[in-house]
Amino acid sequence: MLGTGAVLAPVLPVRAAPSGPSSPALTRFIYLPGVQNTSANVTCLPITSQSYGTLSVNPPPTDRPAELHADLNLGMRGYAQTGGTLGLVDYGGPADGAAPQFPALFADWRTPRFTKNYAVYNWSWTCNCQTSLLTSPPVTLAGVQTTSGETIAVPNSGYNIGDGRQVLVLYAAPTRITLKYTRDDNVIRGYTVHVEGVCVEPRLLLLYQQWNLVGRGQLPALNGAQPFGRALTGEIKVGIQDSGAWMDPRSRKDWWQGR
């Protein structure tokens, strides 16, 4: 168990060796536990207009430490860059009018420029290990353009999990956060949003760490469109699960309605 002063280091890119003379190297992202001090980074300054509280969590708690849970900590699974359209894509079928809307990630509610597409790795619960890349849908994590230091907020939805809040923080580390649109300590039911490349607001991160250490009976709870951190660089990465299934974050009818 991590002490209160310990935090988790970000995903670091590692270049894998090519499989043949003409094969391009594949960038893999490996999660490395460690200690990182982000307090000196200007993009990690507190968002002074915000305050953060908690809500009680529906039992049972996660069946393993959150930092070691591949459903809660995207760094456990990892991801790799892939191809595909750098922009919104159209899927058929019904849409949930209350689904999280990604324009609310940004203070100006913009449709950002898509910078890179990524595929998340499958996870084997038998060996507790990463396996092959997900291929359906073809994109499961989208890189979108940001300005370093700009605030990043909760994708607004039509869901209320109590006291007007929309999400629980199921996992937080200095450079990533996992948001759940129910009060369950798992991804089995409802939407789960993963954001990478964001400096989680220092007070929010500390609040999460404190409650995580004492059994997760409560966790931070945020309003829709409430800022939770700042972009570290010119790109954040966003992914979403619907009752555990990874979805395409570029889907216009689902997460970018009306765009």
Tally of structural domains, the chain? 1
Task: Take residue 257 and report the two structure tokens written for it.
Answer: 């309605």
Q: Cα(180)–Cα(72) distance, rounded to whole angstroms?
A: 10
Judged on CB neighbours under 10 Å (0-12, 13-18, 19+), 159 is middle
Q: What is the pLDDT of residue 29?
A: 42
Residue 165 included in any domain: yes
168 falls within a domain: yes
In which domain, by residue range, is 95 found? 11-255
Kindly report, residue by residue over 140-154, the tens digit of the pLDDT: 999 999 999 999 999
Contact 211, 218 (CB under 8 A): yes
Residues 200 and 173: beta-carbon distance below 8 Å: yes
Cα 149 to Cα 33, 106, 115: the distances in Å are 24, 12, 18
193 belongs to a structural domain: yes
DSSP 3-state of 111: coil
On the question of pLDDT at 88 being above 90, the answer is yes
> Residue 25: is its pLDDT beyond 60?
no
Closest listed residue to residue 228, CA positions, set 169, 183, 188, 182 = 169
For the chain, the distance separating the N- and C-terminal CA atoms, rounded to the nearest angstrom, is 44
Q: Whose CA is closest to 26, among 133, 157, 129, 104? A: 133
Distance CA 199, CA 150 (A): 10
Q: What are phi and psi of 204, to 5 degrees?
A: -65, -45
| 19: in domain | yes
Give a yes or no: residue 3 inside a domain.
Answer: no
Contact 46, 144 (CB under 8 A): no
What does the pLDDT read at residue 158?
98
pLDDT of residue 12: 38
Global confidence as pTM: 0.85
Q: Which of 142, 108, 158 is nearest to 237 (CA)?
A: 142
pLDDT tens by residue, 184-231: 999 999 999 999 999 999 999 999 999 999 999 999 999 999 999 999
SS3 call for 68: helix
Task: Return the C-alpha torsion angle 158, 159, 164, 170, nearest 10.
Answer: -130
